[in-house]
Amino acid sequence: MFVPATSRPRMTEKPEGRGLSYVPMVYEKVEPVAIRWEYHVLTINTREQGLPDTVQMNELGGKGWILTQTVDASPTIYFYFVRQAEG
C-alpha cells in the first residue's frame, strides 16, 4: 500500500504509542567443553559381500553413528562413521 510522504513520520519524530524499551545484555563466562569423538570404518569387499542395506545402516544410526564419507577403492568400499563419545 502506498503512503504519501506527508503522512509518514520523520526520523526525528517519535512515533505515537511506541516507547523505546531497553533490553539489557547479559554476559556469562562459560568454559568451552572439549567434545570427544569416536570413529568407525565399515569396510566392504564387493567381491565377497553386498553393500550394506537399510537395515544395517539404520542399526548403525540407532547406535548414534553418522555416515560422514564413503571411499570407493574398487573392489573395496569404505564407509566412515563418527559419533560423539560417551562419558
Domain locations in the chain as residue ranges:
32-87
Cell of 23: 533490553
Residue 23: its pLDDT value, please?
A: 85
pLDDT band at 24 (very low <50, low <70, confident <90, very high): confident
Average pLDDT over residues 41-50: 96
Contact between 35 and 84 (Cβ < 8 Å): yes
Query: Strands across the sheet with 37-45, in order?
Result: 37-45, 76-84, 66-73
- Convert the pLDDT of each residue in 64-86 to its tens digit: 999 999 999 999 999 999 999 98
Full-model pTM: 0.62
